[in-house]
Amino acid sequence: MFVKALDAAEIAPGGMKAVTINGREIVICNHAGTFYAVERACGHAKARLERGALTGWILTCPLHYAQFDIRSGEALSGPAPKAPAGAHPDPRDPALKTVGLKTWPARLEGGAVFVDVQ
């Protein structure tokens, strides 16, 4: 069932805002007037993703820069490695893994954004 998340005017194109619906923490993203709803907590270490950057459909985590596609929640890249200068990080290091984000259907109706949170 779709539930009103916020007024569309609250988020400029390219912007994001966190909301809580039915106890779920969600980030609403505005990509060129189309809205997407993704899980708020980063799949790596739970950073609040609305504090990151949205470039097109790519949401970059503010903490270690993992990137996610807001259309699918797919993790496009893991967190940035913390190797000392001159060293090469091991790509098999579990600390460099993240998981995708949960997403929910979102739609614009009457100037408001509704999200189907189940």
Binding site for ligand FES (CB under 6 A): 42, 44-45, 47, 61, 63-64, 66, 79, 98
CA 77 to chain CA centroid, Å, is 13
- Tell me whether strands 34-39 and 2-7 are parallel, antiparallel or unpaired: unpaired
Residue 63 or 112 having the CB closest to ligand FES: 63
Find the shortest distance in angstroms from Cβ 40 to ligand FES: 11
DSSP 46-64: --BGGGSEEETTEEE-TTT
**Shortest gap between Cβ of 97 and ligand FES (angstroms)?**
10
What phi-psi label fits residue 110: left (phi over 0), alpha (psi between -120 and 50 degrees) or beta? left
Q: How far apart are CB 30 and ligand FES at their closest, in Å?
A: 21
Of the candidates 32, 105, 43, the residue with the CA atom closest to the CA atom of residue 77: 43
Q: How far is the CB of 80 from ligand FES (least distance, A)?
A: 7
24 bridge partner residues: 21
Instruction: Pick between residue 31 and residue 64 the one whose CB is nearest to ligand FES.
Output: 64
Give the nearer residue to ligand FES in terms of CB position, either 80 or 108.
80
Q: Which is nearer to ligand FES, 82 or 107 (CB)?
A: 82
